[in-house]
Amino acid sequence: MVKNVFGALLFSTAVLASFTAHAQSYPNRPIKIIVPYAAGGAVDIVARTVGQPLAEALKQPVIVDNRPGASANIGMEIAAKAAPDGYTLLMASNGIATNMALFPNLTFDGRRDFAPIAKIGYAPLVIVVPTSSPAKSLKDLITMAKAEPGKLTYASAGNGSSGHLAGELLKSTATIDVLHVPYKGGAPAITDLLGERITFMPINPVEVIAHIRAGKLRALAVASGKRVPLLPGVPTVAEAGLPGYEASVWWGLVAPMKTPPDIVRQLNAETDKALANPAIANKLAELGVVVTPGAPDEFGAFITSQTGLWSGVIKSGGIKPD
DSSP letter for each residue of 121-170: EEEE-EEEEETTSS--SHHHHHHHHHHSTTT-EEEESSTTSHHHHHHHHH
Closest to 249 in 3D by CA, of 186, 184, 195, 317:
186
Tens-place pLDDT, residues 184-230: 888 999 999 999 999 999 999 988 999 999 999 999 999 998 999 88
Could you tell me if residue 170 is inside a domain?
Answer: yes
Is residue 161 scored above 70 in pLDDT? yes
Tens-place pLDDT, residues 261-278: 999 999 999 999 999 999
Tens-place pLDDT, residues 50-108: 999 999 999 999 999 999 999 899 999 999 999 999 999 999 999 999 999 999 999 99
Cβ neighbours of residue 43 closer than 8 Å, sequence gap 6 or more: 35, 36, 37, 91, 93, 251
Is residue 2 scored above 70 in pLDDT? no
Could you tell me if residue 96 is inside a domain?
Answer: yes
**What confidence category does residue 24 fall into, taking pLDDT thresholds of 50, 70 and 90?**
low
- At residue 244, the pLDDT reads 87
Average pLDDT, the chain: 91
Closest to 117 in 3D by CA, of 290, 304, 270:
270
Is residue 254 scored above 70 in pLDDT? yes
Could you tell me if residue 227 is inside a domain?
Answer: no
Is there a single domain that holds both residue 150 and residue 298? Answer: no
Last residue of a domain, one of 222, 237, 265: 222
**Percentages of the chain per state (helix, strand, coil), in multiples of 5:** 45, 20, 35
**What confidence category does residue 42 fall into, taking pLDDT thresholds of 50, 70 and 90?**
confident
Is there a single domain that holds both residue 117 and residue 131? Answer: no
Is residue 8 scored above 80 in pLDDT? no
Is there a single domain that holds both residue 189 and residue 176? Answer: yes
Residue 277: which CATH number? 3.40.190.150
Q: For 169-176, what is the mean pLDDT?
A: 96
What's the domain range around 306? 7-122+250-317
Is residue 9 scored above 60 in pLDDT? no
Is residue 300 scored above 90 in pLDDT? yes
Longest dimension (CA), the chain: 89
Is residue 19 scored above 70 in pLDDT? no
Q: For 14-37, what is the mean pLDDT?
A: 73
> What is the number of structural domains in the chain?
2
Is there a single domain that holds both residue 34 and residue 48? Answer: yes
pTM: 0.85
